[in-house]
Chains A and B, each alone.
Chain A
Amino acid sequence: METDSISLPAQQEAKQIDRADLVVGILTDLDAEAMMALRDALRTLPGSLRIAVVESDDRNQPAAPASEAPPDSPAVFFVPAPLARPSGPGAGPPSMAAAYHSIFATGERLQSRGCCIVASKLESATPQRVCRLLRPLVEGDVDLVVPHYARHRFEGLLNGSIIAPLTRSLYGKRLSNPMGPDFGVSRRLLQKILGTERGSRAGGNGLHPLASLAPAALCDNLQITEVHFGGRVHRPPDWTNTSSLLSEVLGPVFLDIERNAACWQRTRTSVTVPTVGEPVPVSEETASIDTTRLLDSFALGNRELQEIWGLVLPPATLFELRKLARTPREQFRLPDELWVRIVYDFALAHRLRTINCDHLLKSMTPLYLGWVASYAHDLEMDHFVGPDQRLERLALAFEAGKPYFVSRWRWPDRFNP
């Protein structure tokens, strides 16, 4: 029988742990009660496992009281580490990347079989979510467990409009949230990511774990499983910072496309991945959004950024955008095919370093907001079409447009419609 060590000074306890079967990284705010619930939930996992829970050392919550672990159940250790939490001050993708790296490094140091990272707030309880991410790693030969959150109409739009369909069309697997941020990762994938990270850092080309996990697993044909969760609690948007968000999120994604060019050019079609659990239904939503500001931004970008877009987009696309800017607001629709080409052209320009990467990605903001407005109009006009059906249509357009991207990627100068 082992005694949990939560009540001991954490630092002292961390030194005692030299091996763990599983490492759980908590990047979200959990109070002492939730931590106790997490410990109890982890004890329900099969086998006599040693589980290290890595949590931020700046938590102000009091330590959970110690309790005796039942026989033959996993022993849970809490390890404090300097982790940045998404809700913390100044937390953004770069600090998230550092936190992921820190947890992966702990996993490697403790020679764990796998890692689980929980970074988002969910409408449902966190402890059960951790176990659902860990179970496929413990019970099966799975290398990456990715979440499938219940989708609300106007949430996770960057993922729905670019990241998920792009991953699907390029790498051939239909993942609804390839960038997590909650993940279960096997030792094999963890070592690969850490190895690639060291290599890329030596080459001066930083790797972002959030963006690279799914592509790395997909390119190596590793086993991936999706786990159905409820809805995520998203952070409220910072409208003055949408362009920075776009730059921080899409930069690593485009870099990964560049890194894995040899892999995704071989993929032709997409398939689903095994899923665990049942889709969680979301409540009926009637919220509508005012697209005036989005369309204002699109129109302003269309007027002022032509010079920059002209370096990235072919003349035909520019012509269509100019035409779109003249359509009445209520009829504004950005066709999927056009949006797909825009995304592909920006990914190509990122690879060719046509202009400064930060400028490139930030100049995409008005186009993205135009897509959001078009998406909102679509959903509001047709009440029978839910976000899943709408985004499925977009994903198919991404797949249909892949030959265009491959051609432009291979012959950027020759193939310029």
Chain B
Amino acid sequence: MWEQVKQALTQSTARFLTKSASLLPGLAALILAVLMSLVLGWILAVVVRRVLASLRFDERMARWGFASLTDGSVLKSPTLFVSRSIFVLVILAGFLIGIAAFDFEWTSLLVSGILAYIPNIVGAVLVLLVGSLIARFVARSVLIGAVNLNLQYARLLSEGIKWLVIVLSVAMALEHLRIAPGIVELAFGILFGGIVFGLALAVGLGSKDLVTKSLGRDVKRASSEEIEDPLRHV
């Protein structure tokens, strides 16, 4: 009896050790892949940072309206953001290569699943970037236009438009990532509709007097200018 237990234990230990030993090459490959990707990622990040710095990427992004894209975060500079993103991506790629080296069915499935999801991530990031760019451009246009029309609530209007576009682009990005699409759709509909409805109510009811006064003043001003204003610009 004791012999049989001893034999079973020995066989189980041998199987465990054999299995563990068979994992060692994969583990070594994973560690090597991560180490290599660390080195490669670091080199690439340094090269990209230097190239972007020489191209004055931060200034250009500021001109295009991305100056405050990373406000409040650790990454104050778009150059740092891009170079660190590349660093992380390379490490992630190295990790996936290392995982694939284990030659298990589930690791292959995991890797292929992650790889298949990458286009969605890239698409979502692009949608967010373009959305942010459009939001800032439109917000700036609205702000300048409203100030030139002497609207006291110019900033409010500009911020409102900016957040509308950002909310729209975030909803599109989440849709692209296939994260709870039903909820996102519903939430976006409620949020967007709510904002528009709120604005309509504010103008129609809450700010009725203000709007009436404002419009009346504009009309009065326009008609009086045609008659009296002696200013001529060109």
State the A residues within 8 Å of B (CB).
152-159, 234-237, 239-240, 242-243, 245, 249, 287, 289, 293, 296-297, 300-301, 304-305, 308, 311, 353-356, 359, 362-363, 365-366, 372
Task: Give every chain A residue within 8 A of B229 (Cβ-Cβ).
Answer: 236-237, 289
B residues adjacent to A (C-beta < 8 A):
62-63, 137, 140-141, 143-145, 147-150, 152, 154-155, 221-222, 225-226, 229-234
Let me know if A234 and B234 touch, CB within 8 A: yes
| Contact of A157 with B232 in the complex, beta carbons under 8 Å | yes
Across the interface, do A245 and B150 meet the contact criterion of CB distance under 8 Å?
Answer: no
Interchain CA distance A353-B62 in the complex, whole Å: 11
Q: Are B144 and A243 in contact (CB under 8 A)?
A: yes
A158 touches B234 (CB 8 A): yes
Are the C-beta atoms of A305 and B232 separated by less than 8 Å? no
Task: List B contacts of A296 (CB < 8 A).
Answer: 150
User: Can you name the residue of chain B whose Cβ is closest to the Cβ of A239?
Assistant: B225
Q: Which of A296, A304, A305 has the most CB of B within 10 A?
A: A304
**B147 & A305 in contact (Cβ 8 Å cutoff):** yes
User: How far in angstroms is the closest Cβ of chain A from B17?
Assistant: 66
Query: Which B residues are in CB contact (< 8 Å) with A237?
Result: 225, 229, 231-233
Contact assessment for A362 and B144 in the assembled complex, using a CB-CB cutoff below 8 Å: yes
Question: Which of B145, B229, B232 has the largest count of A CB atoms less than 10 A from its CB?
Answer: B232
How would you classify the secondary structure of chain A's contact residues: helix, strand, loop or mixed? helix
Tell me whether A154 and B63 are in contact (CB under 8 A): no
* A158–B152 CA distance with the chains assembled, in angstroms: 25
Residues of B within 8 A of A297 (CB): 147-148, 150
Extra contacts, 4 of them, besides A234-B234, A308-B144, A355-B63 (Cβ < 8 A), are: A305-B144, A359-B141, A362-B145, A366-B148
A361 to B229, CA, bound (A): 24
Interchain CB contact under 8 A, B148 and A243: yes
Complexed CA–CA distance, A256 and B221 (Å)? 36
List A contacts of B221 (CB < 8 A).
Answer: 239, 293
Q: Is the CB of B147 within 8 A of A236?
A: no
B145 contacts A243, C-beta separation under 8 Å:
yes
Please report the C-alpha to C-alpha distance between residue A372 and residue B233 in the assembled complex, in whole angstroms.
10
Instruction: List A contacts of B230 (CB < 8 A).
Output: 153-155, 287, 289
| CA of A159 to CA of B147, assembled, Å | 23
- Contact yes or no, B148 A362, CB < 8 A: yes
Instruction: Known A304-B155, A311-B62, A353-B63; judge A242-B148 contact (CB<8 A).
Output: yes
Whether the pair A154, B148 counts as a contact (CB closer than 8 A) is no
Looking at the complex, which one of A300, A353, A355, A372 makes contact with B154 (CB distance below 8 Å)?
Answer: A300
Complex: how many Å from CA A202 to CA B63? Answer: 26
- A293/B150 contact (C-beta < 8 A), A305-B143, A359-B144 known: yes
Show 24 residue pairs from A and B whose CB-CB distance is below 8 angstroms, ordered by the A residue.
A154-B231, A155-B230, A156-B232, A156-B233, A157-B232, A158-B234, A234-B232, A236-B225, A243-B144, A243-B145, A249-B234, A289-B229, A289-B230, A289-B231, A297-B148, A300-B147, A300-B150, A305-B147, A311-B62, A311-B63, A362-B144, A363-B144, A363-B147, A372-B231
Give chain A residues whose Cβ lies under 8 Å from the Cβ of B141: 359
Report the Cα distance A308→B234, complex, angstroms: 26
The 6 closest A-B pairs by CB, nearest first: A234-B232, A155-B232, A243-B148, A287-B230, A158-B233, A154-B230
Bound: A308/B62 CA distance, A: 11
User: Quick check: A157 and B140 within 8 Å, CB to CB?
Assistant: no
Residues of B within 8 A of A355 (CB): 63, 140
Contacts of B155 in A (CB 8 A): 304
Are B233 and A157 in contact, CB atoms less than 8 angstroms apart? yes
CB distance from B224 to the nearest CB of A (A): 10
The smallest C-beta distance from A363 to any residue of chain B, in angstroms, reads 5
Residues of B within 8 A of A304 (CB): 143, 147, 154-155
Distance (whole angstroms) from the CB of B45 to the closest CB of chain A:
26
Alpha-carbon distance A138/B201, docked complex (angstroms): 69
- Cα A153 to Cα B221 in complex, Å, equals 22
Find the A residue at minimum CB distance from B56.
Answer: A413
- Give, as a whole number of angstroms, the nearest-CB distance from B220 to chain A: 12
> Taking the nearest CB of chain A, how far is it from the CB of B64, in angstroms?
9
Would you give the shortest CB distance from A322 to chain B, in whole angstroms? 16
When distances are taken between beta carbons in the complex, the residues of chain A under 8 Å from B140 are: 308, 355-356, 359
Q: Contacts of A235 on B, CB cut-off 8 Å? A: 232, 234
